[in-house]
Chains A and B, each alone.
Chain A
Amino acid sequence: MNLGEIFRSVLLNLQANKFRVFLTSLGIIIGSFTIIMVVGIGKGSEKAVADQYKRLSVETIMIRKARISSGGGGRQLTNEQAAQMKDLANVKAVGFTLGAQAGISYGSATENTSVLGVSESYQQMINLELASGNYLRDKDGEKRNKVALLGDNIAQLLFGEHLADVIGKTVTIKGRKYEVKGILKRVGDGVLGSDNGGGLPAGFGGGGSIDDSVFIPYEVAEKYIAGSRSSPMITVQAENINAVAPAIEEISEFIENKTGDSSSYSIMDAGSRLSTAQATAKTMSALLIAVATIVLVVGGIGIMNVLFVSVKERTREIGILKSIGAKRKDILREFLLESMLISIAGGMIGSGLSLVTLPLLKYLNLQAIPSTEGILLGLIFSVLTGTFFGYYPALKASKLKPIHALNYE
């Protein structure tokens, strides 16, 4: 029998058992859906990690007061003391950041955004680039000048498309007036809109995108924006990559000397934080893939089950076909094709569902990227499952003896 005819007969049969076919394919739908979601989330979280750290060079070391101080507790490291770390042999620069969510408004336009106090040196560490205006200076901080740099998105939201003469205008942040000192270059990379580009370093108040952030002098943030309980993050830049490890040692010793307890501070370099985060993202992906595989196997067993029922129900038909000359391979192909069609359809429905669902994940604060690879993987796995689990029932059907099949009641 030529494939076209087998195909027709399979379709006829699927049509006659629509609901059962749907139930059968449910396992495959969920399985392929899961795979595509997993790949999307995996890619998304790897990208998120990369984005979070891409602004920080590997020479960066982050120091933060551990949240739970360890009992005996040393004294707090003052910012003046921390600034002295610049004199350590392997340290090139020390920067401070302090952030909070705050409202910013201009005229009738109001936005809630992350406002970050930064020291002059920190701007260079994360490679902030100006579209117009000037950088924040340490002097601004010392004089408590209320000046601000605006990320591209926030500037557009407040002032509209035309940012030409925004410099020098006055915005209100948390009830106080600030002069706009500079507008930052857009960092969003346009892959999926600006939301996914140019993330701020992890552990940095909220960690949003630079495009959505407002930068003010550190001391100003300390005074007007941050709560009394928020502690600054100290960012240290080592002289070069090879100086990172010795710098960490020096810093640890320095803190020990100043506070009597270095263990209440976490000191971590960007490189190892990055690899930790990447490893976490990978573990998560692996876990999800395992789940997806289990779902598919369960779906496959479902197919096998239904196919056995189908073979049983159609035993007489198989007998009739054999009595008029059907060969083993005709019967095998018929049932195998049935199983493959169910799984392909399931895989396509699953892909469709995942394409609809993936973009919704951003509302769960999960970054997920739809990809051709994910969809291919989902489809391939569906078809493999259908073929693998469909083969045995199909083979059994093809091996039925005509006389037994014909006499089957």
Chain B
Amino acid sequence: MNTDAIRMNGIKKSYGAGATRVNVLNEVSLKVKKGEFVAVLGPSGSGKTTLMNIIGLIDTHDEGEYILDGEDLESKDENEYSEIRNRKIGFVFQKFNLITKYTALYNVALPLLLRGADRRQAEESAAKMLEKVGLADRKHYKPVELSGGQQQRVAIARALVGEANIILADEPTGALDTKTGQEIVEILKTLNKNGKTIVLITHDTNIAKQAGRIIHVRDGQVYEH
């Protein structure tokens, strides 16, 4: 089946109420095909993160239609959202968002454990993923013992371990120097070559240019050019 990975129609989102109300997203419509590598580019505060949180189901939109991987999300409940986050989406955050008390290995194993996998299996898969991102020798390190670039690679391994097809990366290079950031982008490019759909948020044009397609966010709306 060749449905779109992401299809949004007239999505609205605002924060606050009354006088302090801010319309962050104003009638956003967006299509991302399966296997695409899309960069979302825009100035700080333009609503990129808000858009990505809605795509990744960790925030809810006020109005509009959102179809993820062919499924209408309108009628789904919290539990089903959790299930979808777990199976279809892999997040990579600017601040890594690893759990500091766990080792790299356990952090990566978590999405599988949350599915109910037993630990041996989960850690086996996690170890393979860490190998893929070049961290085979850092499995038992805790996040504080890793550099920023290494932490972000752990986060990528975690996003991949559940075999999600959509990877959402919100300024994954934002906390890294240019060289390390570029390494992360290279990993994402490789993933895309292997068939993953990638939405990469950035405010860096040099990074955005490496994607197959660029979407601009401005004043709560998206433009292709």
Contact = CB atoms under 8 A, between A and B. Distances in A.
Given A2-B116, A403-B53, A406-B58, A325 B97 contact: no
Interface residues of B, number: 26
Interface string A326-346: 111010000000000000000
A2 B86 contact: no
A394 to B, nearest CB: 16
Contact of A12 (B85, B101, B162): B101
Interface stretch (B24-32, B40-48, B76-84, B181-189): B76-84
Interface string B82-115: 1101110001000001110100000000110111
A279 interface: no
B85 A323 contact: yes
A402 B58 contact: yes
Contacts of B58: 319, 322-323, 402-403, 406
Interface in B141-167: 158, 162
A324 B91 contact: yes
Contact of B114 (A13, A316, A326): A326
A165 interface: no
A1 B116 contact: yes
B166 to A, nearest CB: 13
Q: Which of B78, B99, B113 has the most CB of A within 10 A?
A: B113
A81 B39 CA distance: 116
A301 B24 CA distance: 42
Interface string A1-24: 110110000001100100000000
B59 A403 contact: yes
Contacts of A5: 113, 119
Nearest to A327: B82
B56 interface: yes
A1 B56 contact: no
Interface in B24-74: 53, 56, 58-59
Given A2-B116, A325-B83, A325-B162, 14 more contacts: A5-B119, A317-B99, A319-B97, A323-B91, A324-B86, A325-B82, A325-B85, A325-B114, A325-B115, A327-B79, A327-B82, A327-B114, A330-B114, A403-B53
Interface of B: 53, 56, 58-59, 78-79, 82-83, 85-87, 91, 97-99, 101, 110-111, 113-116, 118-119, 158, 162
7 contacts: A1-B114, A1-B116, A321-B110, A324-B86, A324-B91, A324-B158, A327-B79
Question: Which 9 pairs, one residue from A and one from B, show the smallest C-beta to C-beta distance?
Answer: A325-B86, A402-B58, A403-B59, A327-B82, A325-B114, A324-B111, A325-B85, A320-B97, A5-B113
